[in-house]
């Protein structure tokens, strides 16, 4: 089974644009769960333009499905994560001010640093996932960090899917086999949508979780949140 974790950053962005608590982020998170989402993802960025640090406590105490916090492992971020203990923490290599995550970790270069952080988070009972491109040597180094899972950065897949879907999926299908050999759990995210999700899932059979934000919010404008979540769940069946 592949879990759908809804990234609610864009909901927070709309709320923040007017200053009041509307839409109510917590209510949207709980509604996502009611409509069938099996997880909620947040990405508190250093400038807090999306989900704010102050959102994390109320979300953690109310979300009943899997709670995933993703972000760059700065001192502040790690303190936040350790304070609230989500089910999973996804580490991304984003620089402060990044528009969105647009590449995975170079796990060879950052091996020692990541190893230390993975150990620290796991010591707090938090499952760790590393955002990564489907490159064999980086997956081997990811294994050496001790991480539980990796999250494939699927931006390039989504882009290339519209040009040649067989070529687009190939590196991910090969990397997924390697992850199985290395006993690394697989998550995936970025630019996944109603067009490209099913094909990805079909070629990465050991896919444990997808985290999707932007497309779910865009599709909800036309289909509504409940229908949209159910349409995504159908793609993952």
Closest CA to 28 of 47, 4, 9: 9
Q: Which of 33, 43, 66, 209 is catalytic?
A: 43
Residue 171-200 contact track with ligand PXP, rule CB under 6 A, x = bound: ------------------xxxx--------
Shortest reach from residue 180's CB to ligand PXP, in Å: 21
Question: Which is nearest to 81 in space by CA: 128, 143, 133?
Answer: 128
Could you tell me which of 66, 129, 137, 142 has the C-alpha nearest to residue 101? 129
Residue nearest to ligand PXP (CB): 189
Residue 209 catalytic? no
Residue 203 CA neighbour count, 13 Å, CB half: 18
Determine, following the binding rule CB under 6 A, whether residue 68 of this chain makes contact with ligand PXP: no
235 sits near ligand PXP (criterion: CB under 6 A): no
Instruction: Give the binding-site size for ligand PXP (rule: CB under 6 A).
Output: 19
Shorter beta-carbon distance to ligand PXP: residue 92 or 181: 92
- 129, 142, 148, 210, 237 from 134: Cα distances, Å: 14, 11, 16, 15, 24
- What is the distance of C-alpha 221 from the center of its chain? 22
- Contact footprint for ligand PXP (CB under 6 A): 7, 9, 43, 70, 90, 92, 100-101, 131, 151, 189-192, 211-215
């Amino acid at each position: 089974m592949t879990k759908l974790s809804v990234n609610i950053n864009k909901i927070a962005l709309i709320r923040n644009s007017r200053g009041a608590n509307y839409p109510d982020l917590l209510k949207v998170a709980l509604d996502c769960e009611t409509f069938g989402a099996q997880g909620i993802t947040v990405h508190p960025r250093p400038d807090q333009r999306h989900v704010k640090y102050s959102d994390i406590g109320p979300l953690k105490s109310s979300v009943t499905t899997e709670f995933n916090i993703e972000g760059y492992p700065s001192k502040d971020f790690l303190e936040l994560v350790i304070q609230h203990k989500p089910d999973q923490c996804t580490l991304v290599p984003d620089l402060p001010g990044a528009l969105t995550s647009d590449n995975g970790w170079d796990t060879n270069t950052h091996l020692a640093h990541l190893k230390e952080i993975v150990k620290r988070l796991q010591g707090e009972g938090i499952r760790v996932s590393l955002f990564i491109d489907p490159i064999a040597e980086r997956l081997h180094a990811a294994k050496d960090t001790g991480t539980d899972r990796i999250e494939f950065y699927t931006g390039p897949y989504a882009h290339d899917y519209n040009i040649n879907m067989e070529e687009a999926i190939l590196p991910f299908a090969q990397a997924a086999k390697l992850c199985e050999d290395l006993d690394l759990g697989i998550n995936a995210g970025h630019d996944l949508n109603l067009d490209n999700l099913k094909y990805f899932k079909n070629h990465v059979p050991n896919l444990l979780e997808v985290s999707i934000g932007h497309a779910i919010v865009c599709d909800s404008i036309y289909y509504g949140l409940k229908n949209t979540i159910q349409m995504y769940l159908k793609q993952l069946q």
